Every structure is written in structure tokens, then in C-alpha cells.
Amino acid sequence: MQSTVDWIDEMSTTFQMENNTSEDMITSVLKRSSGIANLPVKAAIIVVGVAGILSNFIVLIGFCLAGRSKMNVSSAYIANHTTLEIFTCVNLVIRWALELGGVFKNFQYSGPAGMIFCILVRGGTLIGIGAYGGKACIVIHTLDRYWKIVHPIHHRKHYRRWMFYFGMVLPWLLGIAKKLTPAVATTGIVNGVCRPRAFWASKAANNVRCYGLKQTDLFECYSYPLNFWHFTNVPSN
């Protein structure tokens, strides 16, 4: 006859096995549902990108219709910013369309072409270049307007034409320096998986990077929607 203690142990083991099986089933369902739940979010990002392309193209068309004679320095800075926004939105749509199509799930690319694709497209570097360059363009335009309006005499004496050309190119250079340079040094492909900005020289370097983002670019560090999801697969150091 089976003792009460043995019966209790047997029931406890059976309940634990059933509980573990239920947890595994729940975990599997949650993983599948989380992937399904992300589909509307990814589709919404693509819609936002398309809307950004159309709206900014309207601005550029307006500049073209106005004619070259009505273009001034301020208009040129606005057109440059609009171009950066279009560049960002186009790459945003491409990146998330590929994500929605499942291209990044099985990263079969190899060699230099695969690494370039991983850095620029999968890692969202092109998006970052345009977005950061757009913000830099606004700052440069603001400083130019402040100098000309608040200090007009000083502006007339010291302003040179090369400053305008430099101000047009500088946002692109800043975007490349801020986004492309670290991405090239810290991105890799491991076991067929693209890992953007995952391989820093040391943990201290990564901490400095995060601290710098928190101090200089809170919007990008915490809630920047264009590059948010590509950090989810990056292993922690």
C-alpha cells in the first residue's frame, strides 16, 4: 500500500511537470504574439516615413517653383535640411520594409558587401546620418540668422561666401562622423547575425558612449523611434 508521503511526492512531481509544460507553452505563445504585435508598429513606421517623404518633397517643389532668383541663404539652408529629411525618410522606409519582409532574420550575406549592408542598412546608420545632420543643419541655420539679425554690422564686415558652402556641407560631415565612424568600428556579423554597434573596445568605452548620449542627445538615447528596434538584438557587454 502506498504511503501518504509517497503519494504526496508523486502528486507534487506531477503538478510540477504540468506547471513547467504550461510555462513553456505560455512562453512560446508570448513570443509568437510579440512578433505579431510588432507588425503594426513596423507598418506604422513605414507609413510615417512615406508621409515624411511626400511632405518634404512638397517643400522642395515649392523652392523649385519659386525660382533661383528668389533663393537666398536662408532658403538654401531650409532646402538642405529638407534634403536631409528626405534622405532619412527614404532610408527609414527601406530599412523597415526589409525588416517587415524578414530579410534580417536570416542574414545570409557575407564578405565586404554583407558588412556594408549590415552597417548602413541593418544598423540604421544611414537613418542616423540624415537625422543627426538634419538637427545640425537647424543649429547652423539658427546661428547664421542670429549673426545676421542681431549683429548685422559685424556680419557685413566678416561674412564670407565660403562660410555658406561650409555650412551646407557641415551637417552631412557631422552626421557621418557621429554615426558612421563608430558603426564601422563596432559592428560585426556573428554566426550569420548582424550585430550593429555591439563590439566596443572595452566596457568603459561603451559606458562613455551611453553617458555621452545621455548628456548631449537625450532624445536619441531614450526615445528616438527611427533606430529603436535595432538595439534589441545587441548583446550586452
pTM of the complete model: 0.70
CATH number at residue 90: 1.20.1070.10
Is 236 inside a domain boundary? no
Is 90 inside a domain boundary? yes
Is 27 inside a domain boundary? no
Is 16 inside a domain boundary? no
Q: How far apart are CA 67 and CA 211, in angstroms?
A: 46
Is 11 inside a domain boundary? no
85-113 pLDDT, tens digit each: 999 999 999 999 988 887 777 666 667 88
Enclosing domain of residue 179: 36-231
Residues of the chain with pLDDT under 70: 1-37, 69, 106-110, 201-237
Is 222 inside a domain boundary? yes
Long-range pairs, 72-78, Cβ under 8 A, ≥24: 73/144, 73/164, 74/141, 74/144, 74/145, 76/164, 76/168, 77/137, 77/140, 77/141, 77/144, 77/167, 77/168, 78/141
Q: How many domains does the chain have?
A: 1
Is 226 inside a domain boundary? yes
Is 9 inside a domain boundary? no
